[in-house]
Amino acid sequence: MAGGGFVAQQGGGAGYEGRVTAFVVCTCLIAATGGLLFGYDLGISGGVTSMEPFLKKFFPSVFAKQNNAAKHESEYCKFDSQLLTLFTSSLYLAALVASFFASVVTRIFGRKVSMFVGGLAFLVGSILNGVAMNVAVLIIGRLLLGVGVGFANQSVPVYLSEMAPAKIRGALNIGFQMAITIGILVAGLINYGTAKIEGGWGWRVSLALAVVPALVMTLGAIVLPDTPNSILERGHSEKARQMLQKVRGTQNVDDEFQDLVDASEAAKKVDHPWRNILQPRYRPQLVLCILIPFFQQLTGINVIMFYAPVLFKTLGFGDDASLMSAVISGTVNVLATTVSIYSADRFGRRILFLEGGVQMIISQIAVGIMIAVKFGLNGEGTLSKSDANFLLFLICVYVAAFAWSWGPLGWLVPSEICPLEIRSAGQAINVAVNMIFTFIIAQVFLSMLCHMKFGLFFFFAAFVIIMTIVIYFFLPETKNVPIEEMNKVWKQHWFWAKYIPDEAVKGANRKVEQRDA
């Protein structure tokens, strides 16, 4: 089923034949909804943990600290509780462990099976959270949600990168990040509405509605086809060719299919992808699959996404104002992500990384200075309406910068730079590092806010400076480069070239010369 009006441009990369079909766009959009799981949870947990009925039932010590005016607690410290942060962070610990199992499932059984398992685990976890009567059941539910997130984050970016034509791989892959941002926004709106439910059970609705994105992904995984790469990897050559013809909208897929076959044959010679990725020839992929997710979390974005209502409440916003402010920043997040969908394949990955980094640095420093002036070291102070609005504006500037740079590209780039023989291992490392530091940041943020105070924002700004420098020097441009020809990019790089053997690029060069002839 061919889509009209948009034909992939030729030139650059391998120049494979084919057009952008409605079939491939639809399958990628359905797969990208796997990001709803991650996004909804990111948005829902912070809102729920700011709701007094939820705190009173599960975390009474935090509720007492927040409401005991006689203690005159520092504004920085009124939500500081390791048990409360464990509610948020336990999910990411489970996702970390699940990502390694997901790597094996994705490679042996295919990408769509991994997506199905993730959706099912998230579904069960959502139900348990909605009916939880004690902290133990709440945490068990969170752990199952983490299994779902681990499987989804392992399989969906790989699925999108393999299914999409090189010319629009960035735009379709960023659909995953768009789904995350939509999930965050919807969660914020739901929290704002459920907080007004009389009787104090609105938090149950917020948590239980996670079944909706879980059902979307579970049912989507059933109807989706698997990628040609995955089908070929499991030994079904003719079926893989037919799927490639279907997704490219042409019968003439010989060149691209031969590249996939060559990559698959190379992958089959690798008995131990985890050991293989440690070889010098894969050093660029290994380093970047570690550094990019590490830096993505050290931007401090999940401080905003996890704890936006809590943070705004800490800074003096009222209950409704804190939830609404989270909705506003969530809206900015969605709108700014569309910028990267438009720009990633036109202007490239590097320019978005670099511009977003500079914008985040400026806004984080400005937020830190403003909080320092208004609250000082003792955490005592108030915000006027104009101060609160300006602080919200600065946070939105920061969120926008992340949403068109490190947000989508942090998932896109690691998923597109790994050759087939190490792809599952590379993506597992990407997810694992992401989840390790998501867990750490989620667990320690409220304590860091209590002890570092406004300096916390300078701490994250310093890391953004470091990561922007690293991107400038060590990440080559990968736009419009077919995944199986990525070695040519590394071979031309000033630093990584020494790790790439000549034979890794000679075969690809011969194929391009044959096509051009």
Maximum Cα interatomic distance, the chain, rounded to a whole number of Å: 82
The pLDDT tens digits for 100-118 are: 888 888 888 888 899 999 9
Could you tell me the CATH number of the domain that includes residue 165?
A: 1.20.1250.20
**What pLDDT sits at residue 423?**
82
**What pLDDT sits at residue 165?**
82
Residue ranges in 376-418 assigned as alpha helix (H): 385-403, 406-417
Instruction: Tell whether 6 is covered by a domain.
Output: no
Instruction: Tell whether 334 is covered by a domain.
Output: yes
For range 254-282, the mean pLDDT? 82
The pLDDT tens digits for 135-189 are: 889 989 999 999 998 898 888 888 887 888 877 878 887 888 888 889 989 998 9
Instruction: Tell whether 496 is covered by a domain.
Output: yes
User: Cα–Cα distances in Å, from 131 out to 83, 126, 207, 391?
Assistant: 19, 9, 9, 37
Q: Which of 477, 321, 458, 457 is nearest to 409 (CA)?
A: 477
> Is the pLDDT score of 331 beyond 60?
yes
Instruction: Tell whether 210 is covered by a domain.
Output: yes
| Residue whose tokens read 């990384």 | 353
Instruction: Tell whether 263 is covered by a domain.
Output: no
pLDDT tier for residue 80 given thresholds of 50, 70 and 90: low
**What pLDDT sits at residue 100?**
82
CA torsion 255→261→263→269, rounded to 10°?
Answer: -160
pLDDT tier for residue 390 given thresholds of 50, 70 and 90: confident
Q: Is the dihedral of CA 495, 496, 499, 502 positive or negative?
A: negative
pLDDT tier for residue 236 given thresholds of 50, 70 and 90: confident
> Is the pLDDT score of 313 beyond 90?
no
Q: Cβ contacts of residue 137 below 8 Å, gap of 6+?
A: 128, 131
| Residue whose tokens read 């009124």 | 78
State which residues form the domain around 67. 22-226+270-508
The pLDDT tens digits for 421-441 are: 788 788 889 988 988 998 888
Instruction: Tell whether 275 is covered by a domain.
Output: yes
**What pLDDT sits at residue 345?**
87
Average pLDDT, the chain: 83
The pLDDT tens digits for 251-266 are: 888 888 888 888 778 7
Instruction: Tell whether 9 is covered by a domain.
Output: no
The pLDDT tens digits for 484-499 are: 788 889 999 999 999 9
Percent of the chain with pLDDT over 90: 29
> Is the pLDDT score of 459 beyond 70?
yes
**What pLDDT sits at residue 492?**
92
Number of domains in the chain: 1
Instruction: Tell whether 112 is covered by a domain.
Output: yes
CA atoms of 505 and 472, how far apart (whole Å): 24
> Is the pLDDT score of 514 beyond 80?
no
Residues making up the chain, counted from first to last = 517
Q: Which of 303, 112, 267, 132 is nearest to 207 (CA)?
A: 132
State the DSSP string of 37-104.
HHHHHHHHHHHHTT-HHHHHHH-HHHHHHHH-GGG---GGGTT--HHHHHHHHHHHHHHHHHHHHHHH
